[in-house]
Structure 1
Amino acid sequence: MMTNPILEKVEFDDDGFMIDPNAWTAEIGEAIAVREDLPLTDRHWVVINFARQEFEANDEAPTLRRITKTTDVDTKELYKLFPGGPAKKAAMVAGLGKPTGCI
């Protein structure tokens, strides 16, 4: 697998989450999504941008419930957008740490 040069300059933990969320850019988010085989759409960006805003306000990634209650993305759509753990995947692409309660 080819490594994206953008990601070579970013530090990640053992689970693939960025160590410094403040270093995140949309370009890094797109590169993480490619690494995770997750093509991004406008609906993904609704969730990613919300996750970033929540992190800036509360210093932690939002829970699945917070995402679905605050955005117009319901649980079913969230699982389609971010398969395999939507809160975890959204936080990863948004450059945040693993959400509290994620295994």
Structure 2
Amino acid sequence: MLPAEAFDNEGFLRDLGEWSPEVAIQIALTEELTLTNPHWEVINLLREYYDLYDSSPAMRPLVKFCGLKLGADRGRSIYLMSLFPGSPAKLGSKIAGLPKPDNCL
């Protein structure tokens, strides 16, 4: 379990190298989420996207990337919102240990 100072004031990791699946669970618990296999699919895709493009995706690119990788039924914003309520790109990136997407408030 990481100490509070490992996170910024919005709960994002300060050092992306400290991320692990256990840290993802820790972050998810602060957001009152229990991670299931569908959550992990998206978390892994977020990390893959970051590795490819060196940035966290905004909502539209995330939806498109999920559609390409997981199929049209899971490449929809309504599906992502069911997993990561509010702002799926922002919340998903936070749990995946990535920086906040540029266009998220």
Question: Which residue pairs with 2:14 in the alignment?
Answer: 19
TM-score by length of 1: 0.87
| Residue from 84, 99, 102 that aligns with 2:101 | 99
Change in CA separation of 1:35 and 1:18 when aligned onto 2, cut-off 3 Å:
same
Letter in 2 for 1:90: G
Task: Tell me by how many angstroms 1:7 deviates.
Answer: 2.4
Letter in 2 for 1:96: L
Q: Could you tell me whether the CA contact under 8 Å between 1:29 and 1:95 is conserved in 2?
A: yes
Letter in 2 for 1:48: I
Task: Tell me by how many angstroms 1:10 deviates.
Answer: 6.2
Question: Which residue pairs with 2:42 in the alignment?
Answer: 47
TM-score by length of 2: 0.85
Percent of pairs identical after alignment? 39
Change in CA separation of 1:10 and 1:59 when aligned onto 2, cut-off 3 Å:
farther
- Unpaired runs of 5+ residues, structure 1, are 1-5
Q: Could you tell me whether the CA contact under 8 Å between 1:10 and 1:18 is conserved in 2?
A: no
Give the distance between the partners of 1:26 and 1:10, measured in 2 at CA: 19
- Between 1:6-15 and 1:39-48, the stretch displaced more is 6-15
Change in CA separation of 1:77 and 1:97 when aligned onto 2, cut-off 3 Å:
same
| Residue from 23, 34, 38 that aligns with 1:28 | 23
Runs of 4+ in 1 over 3 A off after TM superposition: none
Give the distance between the partners of 2:5 and 2:21, measured in 1 at CA: 13
Q: Could you tell me whether the CA contact under 8 Å between 1:55 and 1:61 is conserved in 2?
A: yes
Give the distance between the partners of 1:90 and 1:64, measured in 2 at CA: 10
Indicate the RMSD between aligned Cα atoms, in angstroms: 1.4
- Unpaired runs of 5+ residues, structure 2, are none
